Structure 1
Amino acid sequence: MDGRVALVTGAGRNIGLAIAERLGRDGAVVAVNGPDAGELDDAVAHLVTAGVTATAAPADVSDRDQVDAMVRDVVARHGRLDVLVNNASVPMVGRVPLLELDPDDWERSFAVNARGMFLCTVAAARVMRAGGAVVSISSIGATRAHRSAVAYDATKGAIEAATRAMALELAPARIRVNAVAPGAIANDRHAALPA
């Protein structure tokens, strides 16, 4: 990863911050994204203390103008963008049964999880050189249902379907597109979930 620049969305804490730290420890310059400026400042401070070259890239990934500006800023600061990790996500915490699910919560899940992945991938792919890579964080919920998490699972299924299609379209440009589907990860978002 030496000399490469990576943008990690949803990197203010938890999985995203861990991904950013690993990429940085492997030599990448890391731009960490999130909607909360204070949280991003803390994340950048943590990464710098860990010896990682990191900058904040604040944006709401569901907003096209903000995403485009974020990617332009990363390239202006660092001269390139080689890796995008689509990690931003409305979490599964606070499970709601299907018949009680508010359509606005459904829309918000798709706005961040699926639309955000789409917007960030398109913006990044436009500036990536051959050899670039996009990795989207999916979930086992894409193929194995969780009770009372229909919106979350549906968005993760959308991410996996989009990943396959994007991989075909971006292959001629030599940009790899993959998804990773982790199971439950011990972090502060999952502290309230039953064992």
Structure 2
Amino acid sequence: MNTLFPIYVKMDQLQTLLVGAGPVGLEKLQAIFTNSPFAFVHVVAQDILPEVWDFAALRDTVRISQRGFLPSDLLDKDLVVLATNNEALNKEVRKLTQQAHILLNVADKPDLCDFYLGSVVQKGNLKLGISTNGKSPTMAKRLKEFFNELLPEEIDDTLLLMQALRKQLKGDLQEKIRVLNAHTKDSLKRGE
């Protein structure tokens, strides 16, 4: 059973530490900025792919320190993402983040994670997160492809219309919910 609680985080209001700047680190960095273009990320790594340097050069909110991890890197951090093959380092950082109450994601190590970076489907303002509870990133990727093909590009137009309708509605919250639910149910029946 998947007991994860799905949330969407405002990364431009948080400080993130990414340890590791190889292919997996680059993938994590790209995922963060694909979903949150104004995220604040400090990258720490001994070895850094040229693509990571190139990626960071285009963003004012990415800082790179070419060196090993230091416990002081955790100061003022809200999230930590580890993209290393160093099991001892991963366990050390896990212990430190638990002590500091900082959420941690460790690439390909679900047992060390507080949260997972799931697959994401985005069509304008609509964003769907897909989680397999860390069991199968491949399945999550296939579902992402399926939903990307299934959802029409025009769905964002519908969301904007729903937002306008929501702003026009009068009454208490329950009445607004009733009207919006009825409207979306009718729209789905008509295939809009």
TM-score between both structures, scaled by the size of structure 2: 0.46
The structure carrying a bigger strand percent of its residues is 2
TM-score between both structures, scaled by the size of structure 1: 0.45
Choose between structure 1 and 2 for higher RCO, CA contacts under 8 A separated by at least 6 residues.
1
Q: Considering only CA atoms, is the larger Rg found in Structure 1 or Structure 2?
A: 2
